[in-house]
Structure 1
Amino acid sequence: MPIPVNEEVRSYAPGSSERASLQQALDDVWSSEPVELTGDFGHGPRMAGGDLVEVTSPVDHHHVLGRVAVSTTADVTEALEAGRAVARDWADLGFEHRAAIMLRAAELAAGPWRDRLNAATMLGQGKTVQQAEIDAACELVDFLRFNVDFARQVHQVQPISSPGLWNRMEYRPLEGFVYAITPFNFTAIAANLPTAPALMGNVVLWKPSITQQLAAQVTMNLLREAGMPPGVITLVPGHGPEVSEVALASPDLAGIHFTGSTGTFQHLWREVGNRIADYRTYPRLVGETGGKDFVLAHPSADLDVLRTALVRGAFEYSGQKCSAASRAYLPRSLWRRLEGDLAALADDLAVGDVRDFTNFTSAVIDQRAFAKLSGAIDAVRASSDARIIAGGTVDDSTGWYVRPTLVVSDNPHQDVFCTEYFGPLLSIFVYEDDQYDAILDLVDSTAVYGLTGAIISTDRHALDRASRALVHAAGNIYYNDKPTGAVVGQQPFGGGRASGTNDKAGSLWNIARWTSPRAVKESLVPVVDHRYPHMAPDA
């Protein structure tokens, strides 16, 4: 099979052909009439049977990109039946043929479909060109390429055989269907959650976020063109509770592949637990959920490295990444030199429409996110133990805009250090330089999550002490870098505690979760006598 390589990130520099091509794709989507965003219930694309919902652009919520109908009970049931009908044929198809479909999808996404995926992600999810390129183009391509290689590695794990025997492992799909529930913030994740189980021979019921529906439909069209047979992955638009009510009630539920909020995943887990005796098999539950990710700086930290890690880690894509930096612990000696520059830099960040490539970041996803962040900023203003030193302004007159905001507090247990707001809000606690070792327990214990973290230090011993003390505080730890930007094949992604099951998307550990191995022992020269040597009489 082809050796996977990470897709190269394009720069979209002024005057480049790639920039002109993408700008044309953006203009085409923006200027077109609102499109019908269809589901696919196993027999080709069609509108679902429920109420219509408008899908608008976060950068201008008056602009309707498309309309999607939510799935009814009948729609979800049809999708499950379609998956059941093709499950055996898909499982029996050779792994190399399933892999070929994924590899073809990767090449289409890297080439002729690249602009479509990026444009849909930029306008539908409010991503700048840089954030869309590393997501909808590169990471999506990487998942498709590398998952094939990870699956190959899984298949190569085989037992030893004694003389006269041939032992082997067969990697079967799970018995039933996988329910993939995907988030708004990453087109690549939304593609990976259904395609990873499908690669291993499973049929998948896919429920994307309504706010990601534009890019989800482009992804589904891409998979069709790559040769994905009808019914293998069914696309059911709609609201989570309504779709889950049908999916979780099916005795054929074999797994859940989830990325989203901690509360939703815990609800799904409880529902599965309550119904555990009703299922044909014990469902596999794989979830990547929330984070309250940290940046910890040692007094030896390089100031430029620290400043860049804070700004990029906290404010790229308006902090709407589960890995985004949302709390920072900085030594006072560095803070004296950093405070003014960091505040000025945050206030100077260009925030606006993604069609303007000079913007650093853009709007948050929807009214609910805007209201949550506006409320958090209001709460900081009303508090007696926190102050805003940059940003803190919001504007929903056109799009859902929240300025990158820096909050400083001397109370390390203030709400801004504990609650995940999923937006451009970075809380900062300043500690005395000689308290570095003491601060480690605070970093570890303040939040319930354990997803990502960054340690900024030029002192190797300080890095080592922090890494040991924070061993469970982050499933992905970064030295002298921002706590975001995991690359498939390079940094397998996932965390523990309230951040998920740590099954590491972008690795063979995740792929192995979607197979049910069967051990086969074949006797090449079968035994024909039941008697053992010890049964013979003494001479």
Structure 2
Amino acid sequence: MSNANFAIPKAYNEPVKAYLPGSPEREALKKELDRQASIQVEIPIIIGGKEYHTGNKGKCVMPHDFNHVLAEYNIAGEEELKLAADAAMAAKEEWANMPWEHRASIFLKAADLLTGPWRAKMNAATMLGQSKTAFQAEIDSACELADFLRFNVAFAEQIYKQQPENSHGVWNRTEYRPLDGFVMAISPFNFTSIGGNLCTAPAIMGNTVIWKPAQTAALSNYYFMQLMKEAGLPDGVINFVPCRGSDVSKYLLSDPRMAGFHFTGSTAVFSGVWSLVGENIAKYHSYPRLVGETGGKDFIFAHPTAQVEPLVAAMVRGAFEFQGQKCSAASRAYIPASIWPQVKEGLLNETAKLKMGDPRDFTNFMCAVIDKASFTKISEYIDYANASEDAEVLCGGYDGSKGYFVKPTVILAKKPDFKTMVEEIFGPVLTVYVYEDEKLEETLKICDTASPYGLTGAIFAQDRNAIVMMEKALSNTAGNFYINDKPTGAVVGQQPFGGARASGTNDKAGSMLNLYRWISPRTIKESFVPSTDIAYPFMCEE
């Protein structure tokens, strides 16, 4: 075995391709979109590198054309989930003992495959299956996912280099072991990159993983599993099990060998998992690490000195890109009365220009929300606002005749605690509350306390003293805080992502902080010349 101290290639953020007319990436993507739209894929369960077909299947449809079936996925049950746990444990020792440079090379190769020959395939699957535009798919399933792979390898290297101080005659070392058991990862539909990160971040640190993808993102997630296989990931390191959440709770979360849980999804689900783990705490071989990024009620708060044009742009992009289905999407806005007329005019004018439809039409800014349940939930909020005397729907609506289309909707709330100002909607609905300029500090307190969440938020102001004051007043409202920018678009390595309060454990995906959760350090002290003394000097007689 080599004794060299290898240096990992420097991590970098993958450049975002523009997909301009006539560009080779646009031509390749359109060709791949046509190909994927013309076939139907059967997605297997993958355990220990083997494919399993249960015959119990669900469907992946285009949200913008819900009669078009892209794929059918096999649903894992009790037998498959227990088999996955056994497979993860069986692969653990060899994976943990693989020399670091070889383990790292798998994920670095995966990043290059992703941004090279797999780019169009991953983006097309994300566009069709999750109804994302070309740009939204590019920044997600190509760039951010590659960034996670490259930066997490670099972060791991930095962790491994951290060693304790030594004293005379003593050599102190720290080794960073994987957790003592398997890691369970449950990922959401909205970002292909999150699915890839939730399963690979623990694996990079030497853990083996059971991955439950969101059923509505099963196609792009399955392709990522195939990509990892091509990159050389050994069988059993990541086990792919589309299944019901209730079965995960029943057969895996209570397994004594579960050592970690990596999650992005709803606050309610994560709270339920935390309770379940607490109920089973005496069973586990070690205390499970629980890492979760959950809900949000993300805000934009404008000061009277805010510039109107960039504020409007941030509101439109922050609220309506990817149909507001980002954990970080702007869902509420606090606008001072002095600039509201100009903001309202600009907001409604710009929103009216947004085109919505099939992602294969590259002129569309928005597509469909993910499924019928989401469509129904969002439309009920819009109906509630339309019927209420405490709100006015300035624009928006919905149409579910062919796809799950919710139009970009702006609600003007007459009260700061109106339902759509405080509850998570997860759709293209922005609620605005207009405050009197002299009530700035009072309204900042309302913003801080109106929601149980603490994920993202943005402030807009030109007055530097105001920025200082607002930043301090809102210090606990957001784990990712933006000044004169929209509250979305965190970049791996630049703005590590995560929030506290009801928004999760704030373990910051895209940073070393997250990777620390997947290791169990062992400190080793070696004495070169061991002492033979038993008595201590202070024991000598006077």
Same fold (TM over 0.5): yes
> What amino acid is the match of 1:475?
G
Could you report, residue by residue, the CA deviation over 1:421-452 in whole angstroms, capped at 9, with x for unpaired residues? 10000000001112212211010000000000
Task: Return the offset for 1:243.
Answer: 2.3
Task: Return the offset for 1:45.
Answer: 2.6
**Are residues 1:82 and 2:105 paired?**
no
1:189-268 matches, within 5 Å, as 189-268=194-273
Q: Which stretch shows the higher mean deviation, 199-208 or 431-440?
A: 431-440
Q: Which residue of 2 aligns with 1:95?
A: 100
1:503-522 matches, within 5 Å, as 503-522=507-526
SS at match of 1:201: coil
Task: Return the offset for 1:365.
Answer: 0.2
> What amino acid is the match of 1:436?
L
Does the Cα contact within 8 Å between 2:270 and 2:292 map onto a contact in 1?
yes
Note the residue ranges of structure 1 that are not aligned, 5 or more in a row: none
SS at match of 1:220: helix
Does the Cα contact within 8 Å between 2:413 and 2:421 map onto a contact in 1?
no
Task: Return the offset for 1:526.
Answer: 1.3
> What amino acid is the match of 2:532?
V
1:368-517 matches, within 5 Å, as 368-391=373-396, 393-517=397-521
Does the Cα contact within 8 Å between 1:329 and 1:428 map onto a contact in 2?
yes
Task: Return the offset for 1:198.
Answer: 0.4
Q: Which residue of 1 aligns with 2:16?
A: 9
Does the Cα contact within 8 Å between 2:258 and 2:284 map onto a contact in 1?
yes
Q: Separation in 1 of the partners of 2:278 and 2:478?
A: 27
Question: % of aligned pairs identical?
Answer: 52
Q: Separation in 2 of the partners of 1:268 and 1:534?
A: 54
Could you report, residue by residue, the CA deviation over 1:278-318 in whole angstroms, capped at 9, with x for unpaired residues? 10000000000000000000011111110110000000000
Query: What is the alpha-carbon root mean square deviation over aligned residues?
Result: 0.9
**Are residues 1:72 and 2:77 paired?**
yes
Could you report, residue by residue, the CA deviation over 1:175-211 in whole angstroms, capped at 9, with x for unpaired residues? 0000000000000000000100001010100000000
Q: Separation in 2 of the partners of 1:242 and 1:257?
A: 17
Does the Cα contact within 8 Å between 1:71 and 1:243 map onto a contact in 2?
no
Task: Return the offset for 1:533.
Answer: 2.4
Task: Return the offset for 1:44.
Answer: 2.1
Could you report, residue by residue, the CA deviation over 1:267-286 in whole angstroms, capped at 9, with x for unpaired residues? 00000000000100000000
Q: Separation in 2 of the partners of 1:243 and 1:439?
A: 42
SS at match of 2:494: coil
Q: Separation in 2 of the partners of 1:190 and 1:180?
A: 8
Q: Separation in 1 of the partners of 2:51 and 2:465?
A: 58
**Are residues 1:332 and 2:354 paired?**
no
**Are residues 1:19 and 2:26 paired?**
yes
Q: Pick from 45, 54, 57 the counterpart of residue 51 of structure 2.
A: 45
Note the residue ranges of structure 2 that are not aligned, 5 or more in a row: 1-7
Could you report, residue by residue, the CA deviation over 1:346-395 in whole angstroms, capped at 9, with x for unpaired residues? 1221011000001001000000000001111111111110011111x211
Q: Which residue of 2 aligns with 1:302?
A: 307
Q: Separation in 2 of the partners of 1:337 and 1:82?
A: 60
> What amino acid is the match of 1:411?
K
Q: Separation in 1 of the partners of 2:250 and 2:307?
A: 52
Q: Separation in 1 of the partners of 2:50 and 2:352?
A: 48
> What amino acid is the match of 1:481?
D
SS at match of 1:217: helix
Task: Return the offset for 1:527.
Answer: 1.2
SS at match of 1:202: coil
Task: Return the offset for 1:50.
Answer: 5.5
Q: Separation in 1 of the partners of 2:398 and 2:206?
A: 47
Could you report, residue by residue, the CA deviation over 1:14-44 in whole angstroms, capped at 9, with x for unpaired residues? 1111100000010000012x11011101132
> What amino acid is the match of 2:288?
P
TM-score under structure 2 length normalisation:
0.98
> What amino acid is the match of 1:472?
N
TM-score under structure 1 length normalisation:
0.98
SS at match of 1:277: coil
Q: Separation in 1 of the partners of 2:96 and 2:208?
A: 9
SS at match of 1:278: coil
Does the Cα contact within 8 Å between 1:50 and 1:72 map onto a contact in 2?
no
Does the Cα contact within 8 Å between 1:95 and 1:200 map onto a contact in 2?
no
Q: Which residue of 1 aligns with 2:3?
A: none
Task: Return the offset for 1:534.
Answer: 2.8
SS at match of 1:403: strand
Does the Cα contact within 8 Å between 1:55 and 1:64 map onto a contact in 2?
yes
Q: Separation in 1 of the partners of 2:481 and 2:44?
A: 40
Q: Separation in 2 of the partners of 1:470 and 1:522?
A: 49
Q: Pick from 288, 312, 318 the counterpart of residue 293 of structure 2.
A: 288
Task: Return the offset for 1:152.
Answer: 1.0
SS at match of 2:22: coil
SS at match of 2:166: coil
SS at match of 1:159: coil
Task: Return the offset for 1:537.
Answer: 4.2
Q: Which residue of 1 aligns with 2:4?
A: none
Task: Return the offset for 1:525.
Answer: 1.5
Q: Which residue of 1 aligns with 2:528?
A: 524
SS at match of 2:260: strand
Does the Cα contact within 8 Å between 2:253 and 2:277 map onto a contact in 1?
yes
Could you report, residue by residue, the CA deviation over 1:67-104 in whole angstroms, capped at 9, with x for unpaired residues? 11211100011111111111111111122211111101
Does the Cα contact within 8 Å between 1:331 and 1:431 map onto a contact in 2?
yes
Q: Which stretch shows the higher mean deviation, 464-473 or 139-148?
A: 464-473
Q: Which residue of 1 aligns with 2:325?
A: 320
